[in-house]
Amino acid sequence: MPVVKIERLSKSYSGTMVLHPLDLEIHDRELFFLVGPSGCGKSTLLRLIAGLLKPDSGRISFDTKEVSSLPPEKRGAAMVFQNYALWPHMSVCENVAFGLQNFGFKGDKLLSTTNEALESVGMLTYSDRMPAALSGGQQQRVALARALAVKPSLLLFDEPLSNLDARLREHMRSEIWRICKENSLTAIYVTHDRKEALSMADRIAILDKGRLRQIGTPEELYKNPLDQFTASFMGDCNFFEGEILPGSSASFHDIRTALGIFRVPVAEAPPGKRLKLAARPEDVKIMDLFNDSSVEGLIKRSVFVGDITLNEIEAGGISISAAELGYRIRKGGGKCAVSLSPDKLMILRDQEN
């Protein structure tokens, strides 16, 4: 049973549709990511779920109970914002306790619940500090403790790590993941950062211009994107075309591409039809010796970018990017053999809406 069920939810501002009617189900204990470029409607969707915005149409249910017309405080969801939203004049423990007091906590129960929440994010020893005396990462932990303290049925994250530097962001990713999993939380997490989504999410929904493009696990979206938008949003990608060759059977077709001929399972495609294809740079192999499945390539440029070497290769009349692990600079102008394993060839949807 889904913990959150969204049905035909839509939102417009001044007559401009920013969220087209969409359906979405989020499962129990799932860390669900909403990702997409800036302005695609992620925060709008999250705010509709939180009850901070009113939809134009549609329904939102938490655990089968419709919450569409309930105010935020009656929905049982807690939100963690990008800017932490801590009270500057209150200490760390007062910031956490304040929210609990609004829920009727007092005395020993207030203290123990506050301490428990601070302990779970590793901030108990900072109880008496003021927010200004904390780093960005520590402030975000306090904001998280405040959200956790009320034992929300649903945790909503709106770009919570955007204000942190790159190293701290990476550390906080695993911290937030650990806290969500240890507390068996159901959470919806908005980000425009694909690495954040790939490294933390159980499932991801890709949004583009207010529409859902694809939902899946990080692996599904990375390895089997439906269209060019999702393929390139999830990581670096080579895009090229293929042509269906005559003489195929009902269940597979041979297609000719710049990287060779591939046998693929495509239904009902006439010979001559062109397909949109894609391949990740790390799946394009460069070899010194040719074999049956390789084509000739010309190294145009080879650049070491830290953990991998990126090679720009001309093969079959197109430019292809091939990644190799580590420092593997190849001489520009040199010939090489290039190959792509058939199971790494991604077939994309013809039409994008």
For residues 2-31, which are near ligand ADP according to CB under 6 A?
13, 18
Beta strands in the chain (DSSP E): 2-13, 16-27, 31-35, 57-62, 65-66, 77-80, 154-158, 187-191, 203-208, 211-216, 238-244, 253-257, 260-264, 274-279, 284-287, 294-304, 308-315, 318-325, 335-340, 346-347
Return the number of the residue (35 or 284) whose C-beta is nearest ligand ADP: 35
- Site membership for ligand ADP, residue 41 (CB under 6 A): yes
- Specify which residues 205 forms β-bridges with: 34, 215
Binding mask 195-214 for ligand ADP (x = CB under 6 A): --------------------
- Site membership for ligand ADP, residue 38 (CB under 6 A): yes
Judge whether 148 and 179 are in contact, CB under 8 Å: yes
Q: How far is the CB of 119 from ligand ADP (least distance, A)?
A: 32
Burial class of residue 197 (count of CB atoms within 10 Å of its CB; 0-12, 13-18, 19+): buried
Which of 3, 9, 26, 42 binds ligand ADP (CB under 6 A)? It is 42
Site residue total, ligand ADP (CB under 6 A): 10
Strands 154-158 and 77-80: parallel
Return the number of the residue (43 or 113) whose C-beta is nearest ligand ADP: 43
List, as one string, the DSSP characters of 11-37.
EEETTEEEEEEEEEEEETT-EEEEE-S
Q: How far is the CB of 204 from ligand ADP (least distance, A)?
A: 14
Judge whether 17 and 10 are in contact, CB under 8 Å: yes
- Site membership for ligand ADP, residue 257 (CB under 6 A): no
Return the number of the residue (32 or 105) whose C-beta is nearest ligand ADP: 32
Q: How far is the CB of 20 from ligand ADP (least distance, A)?
A: 12
- Site membership for ligand ADP, residue 44 (CB under 6 A): yes
The DSSP element (H or E) to which 117 belongs, if any, is: helix 107-120
Q: Residue type at 229?
A: F
Which range, of 32-40, 86-94, 144-152, 174-182, touches ligand ADP by CB under 6 A? 32-40
- Site membership for ligand ADP, residue 191 (CB under 6 A): no
d(CA 346, CA 342): 9
Return the number of the residue (49 or 154) whose C-beta is nearest ligand ADP: 49
Return the number of the residue (15 or 104) whose C-beta is nearest ligand ADP: 15
Return the number of the residue (49 or 286) whose C-beta is nearest ligand ADP: 49
Which of 22, 43, 93, 198 binds ligand ADP (CB under 6 A)? It is 43
d(CA 289, CA 160): 49
Return the number of the residue (40 or 117) whose C-beta is nearest ligand ADP: 40
Which range, of 2-10, 36-44, 72-80, 140-148, touches ligand ADP by CB under 6 A? 36-44
Which of 6, 22, 26, 40 binds ligand ADP (CB under 6 A)? It is 40
Strands 318-325 and 308-315: antiparallel
| Phi-psi sector, 63: left (phi>0), alpha (psi -120 to 50), beta | left
Secondary structure in 3-state letters for 132-152: HHCCHHHHHHHHHHHHHHCCC
Secondary structure in 3-state letters for 209-236: CCEEEEEECHHHHHHCCCCHHHHHHHCC
Structural tokens at position 66: 């419709």
Q: How far is the CB of 37 from ligand ADP (least distance, A)?
A: 7
Q: How far is the CB of 32 from ligand ADP (least distance, A)?
A: 15
- Site membership for ligand ADP, residue 294 (CB under 6 A): no
Which of 23, 28, 29, 39 binds ligand ADP (CB under 6 A)? It is 39
d(CA 86, CA 163): 14
Which range, of 42-50, 62-70, 134-142, 309-317, touches ligand ADP by CB under 6 A? 42-50
Q: Residue type at 97?
A: A
Give the footprint of ligand ADP on this chain (CB under 6 A).
13, 18, 36, 38-44
